[in-house]
Amino acid sequence: MSGDHIEEIGRIKLNLKHYPGEDYYCDGEVEDELLDIARNYSQAEYGRIIEERRSWPILYHLSPLRENIVEWLPITKDMKVLEVGSGCGAVTGALARKAGEVSCIELSRKRSRINAYRHMDADNVTIHVGNFQDVEPDLDCDYDYICLIGVFEYAQAYIESSTPYVDFLNIIRKHVKADGHIAIAIENKFGLKYWAGCQEDHLGTYFSSLEDYPDGGVVRTFTADGLRRIAGQCGYRQAWMYYPYPDYKFMTCLYSDDRLPKTGELTLNMRNFDRERLALFDEKKVFDTILQEEQFPLFSNSYMMLLGPEPEEKYVKYSNDRLPQFCIKTVLCRTGSEKIIEKHPLCEEAYDHIRKTAEAYRGLAERYAGSGLSINRCSLAEDPHPYLRLEYLEGRTLAEIMDERLAHNDEEGFQSLFDEYLKRIAVGGQEKTSDYDLVFSNIIVPDNINNTWNVIDCEWSFEQPIETKQIAFRAVYCYLLEDEKRNILNQDLIFKKLRIDQTDAEQYRKQEMRFQKYITGRKMSMAEIRDNIGYPVYTLEAFQRGQAAAGAESRVQIYEDTGSGFSEEQSYFLDENMGSQIRVTPEGMTELELAVAGGRSALRIDPGSESCMVYIQEIRWNGEPLPWKGKRITANGFKVGDNTYVFPTQDPNITVSLAGIHSEADNLMQVRMEVTRLPEETAKHIKKRGLL
């Protein structure tokens, strides 16, 4: 101890003046685990630890994505910030990097020590350990920002009154400057994920917030109007509402009433990590309907309410699930009637990426000068770090117009648009600068499609020529992956126009796999982390069949043998693995594309977790048919016909040996098969009677 009430950990100070002498709440052994990690590992190792330990609390407390909810706030080094309920420090680090001075309040001493150890190099942070009501009288009254991140919903637990939320906000308001801000991040009681079958975040019960908490308890969340009413009762005439997506905990996009999501944007919805859930409907499709009906603010999963002067920031997109050198954020700012897009690096390693992107914009502008494409204006600024300022363009994207034509069964109109796209992107093909990311959603098309088309977001441009047909193939590839409704497109006609065959297509798909690895490295996606943690998803269809084990039944799991046999550690679910994909054709054929690294001796395909019959029509390796000689294909079912197997087991699996097959660093295996679910008794009867 240093001073009467101060404990120092590194450069951080813990003020224990109001600490009651014991922690009144604790999450048990996991807090000891978190303290050990904070003491003995650098933050650079947290990603690996999250992947290895497969634990929701470890992910929740240590994921760097937790910082996104406050990182966008325009906090500068001449500002003071108060963080109420700092916990294990999920957002404290971001605040410390941005502000001149950070004061935290946290009831738990153990959690405060975890926070201190993980940010021990910060010399501008003081953590006040104790109950808020005891600490509050000692707080300054000139904070520029006060942050309540996942805290406001607990107000009635420590404010004893008939109007605890109003009283809590009034108390907080006393400590903010006249022109300061209060930032409140909280779940929406009407969040779509709760209607779809997620359990309530705090209580772990189904539909409790939708039913207005019939069983009581201290937690309360609110709709946007409910939050506005509380703010209004505290004298705020205006509350600036933001909509973190998928939610405020692991936000990747922040929307506002000035920039709401567009149809097709909300695709990251299977994002509960802490417990099992139902899947009552496809949240992406329902979100699209909600957007068409202009009801998104009512059903956003979370809110960030900002009280104070109107901020310039109206939309933020984080791209920090990449390698550090590519981690950036994209911000839409509005000052008066002027709107501008900015792209900022999120760490020093990404400075060079920003500068190279500025050079690419210049090169592309020269390439397409006088053509049917216009590159949106871009300038490089440095204040104090390099960032891009981009012209803000509004209008419909080429993808939206193509969707419209497909929806009206206007295949000819779609192909006409695609022909025009091909003609325009081919201009200057001999030039060095190429935009690899010329996808349909990055092109704004005017009402008169014969006028100039505007290209946005040229981040992935390179100083090398790239074939027009490869760029166009990738555009179609990405377009189809984003929405299964687009599978009605005549892909054969597209291939014919691009003059590519299956071999070319396989090479382009492999190039896309390499590109994704180039951006993200070997990091797991959040979807893969969710699978790693392992909570099941139960579907209505499963309950209708009287099955107890829902979501995994029809999910395809892939095991890789690197020389030590198959194991869960070397497996993944195909539908959410980076670089791989699954789709079901209208004819009912299941098509798999597996990204296979070199050095694999065998793959195991588990077509689900219930008895079934599987007909394997084709397996291709790097575009070529895989020879079936010898024991190339084995199964734990029994063969009933050419390439057809019946599995009277809840764990069907098919093993493909890769012995003697040339393996590159990046390989692509394609499997086309028909999977028919069978009651286990039926499958056993088939085996017993030899019916097939």
The predicted model gives 530-550 an average pLDDT of 67
> What pLDDT digit, counting tens, does each position of 641-658 carry?
788 888 988 889 999 998
Q: What is the per-residue pLDDT for 43?
A: 94
Q: What is the per-residue pLDDT for 548?
A: 39
Which range is least confidently modeled, 128-137, 316-325, 560-569?
560-569
Q: Is residue 3 very low, low, confident or very high in pLDDT (cuts 50, 70, 90)?
A: low
Asked if residues 65 and 319 have their Cβ atoms less than 8 Å apart, the reply is no
Whether 1 shows a pLDDT value over 70: the answer reads no
Phi, psi of 100 (to 5 degrees): -80, -35
Asked if residues 501 and 422 have their Cβ atoms less than 8 Å apart, the reply is no
Percent of the chain predicted with pLDDT > 70: 95
Q: What is the per-residue pLDDT for 544?
A: 58
Asked if residues 184 and 227 have their Cβ atoms less than 8 Å apart, the reply is yes
Q: What is the per-residue pLDDT for 67?
A: 98
Q: What is the per-residue pLDDT for 126?
A: 98
Name which residue leads in pLDDT, 27 or 319. Answer: 319
Whether 460 shows a pLDDT value over 50: the answer reads yes
Contacts of 644 (CB under 8 A, 6+ apart): 613, 614, 615, 616, 692
**Tokens representing residue 18 in the block:** 């109001």
The predicted model gives 136-147 an average pLDDT of 97
Strands 80-84 and 143-149 come out as parallel
Contacts of 526 (CB under 8 A, 6+ apart): 65, 250, 268, 271, 321
pTM tops 0.75: yes
Nearest Cα to Cα of residue 240 among 311, 306, 167: 306
Q: What is the per-residue pLDDT for 579?
A: 59
Q: What is the per-residue pLDDT for 687?
A: 59
Q: What is the per-residue pLDDT for 555?
A: 76
Q: Is residue 572 very low, low, confident or very high in pLDDT (cuts 50, 70, 90)?
A: confident
> What pLDDT digit, counting tens, does each position of 283-330 carry?
999 999 999 999 999 999 999 999 999 999 999 999 998 999 999 999
Rg (CA), the chain: 27
> What pLDDT digit, counting tens, does each position of 73-126 carry?
999 999 999 999 999 999 999 999 999 999 999 999 999 999 999 999 999 999
Helix (H) or strand (E) holding 355: helix 351-367
> What pLDDT digit, counting tens, does each position of 471-519 carry?
999 999 999 888 878 888 888 899 899 999 888 888 998 898 889 889 9
Asked if residues 216 and 283 have their Cβ atoms less than 8 Å apart, the reply is no
For the chain, the straight-line distance linking the first and the last C-alpha, in angstroms and rounded, comes to: 79
User: Taking each helix axis from N to C terminus, what angle separates 46-53 and 526-533, rounded to the nearest 10 degrees?
Assistant: 40
Whether 448 shows a pLDDT value over 60: the answer reads yes
Residue 548 DSSP one-character state: S
State how far the Cα of 531 lies from the Cα of 550, in Å rounded to an integer.
Answer: 14
Average pLDDT in the chain: 90
Q: What is the per-residue pLDDT for 11?
A: 97
Q: What is the per-residue pLDDT for 445?
A: 96
> What pLDDT digit, counting tens, does each position of 623-639 carry?
888 877 677 899 998 88
Q: Is residue 542 very low, low, confident or very high in pLDDT (cuts 50, 70, 90)?
A: low
State how far the Cα of 614 lies from the Cα of 249, in Å rounded to an integer.
Answer: 41
Whether 418 shows a pLDDT value over 60: the answer reads yes
Q: What is the per-residue pLDDT for 575?
A: 59
Q: Is residue 683 very low, low, confident or very high in pLDDT (cuts 50, 70, 90)?
A: confident
Whether 260 shows a pLDDT value over 90: the answer reads yes
Name which residue leads in pLDDT, 61 or 549. Answer: 61
State how far the Cα of 606 lies from the Cα of 554, in Å rounded to an integer.
Answer: 9
User: Taking each helix axis from N to C terminus, what angle separates 164-173 and 224-233, rounded to the nearest 10 degrees?
Assistant: 60
Percent of the chain predicted with pLDDT > 90: 66
> What pLDDT digit, counting tens, does each position of 382-415 carry?
988 999 999 999 899 999 999 999 999 999 999 9
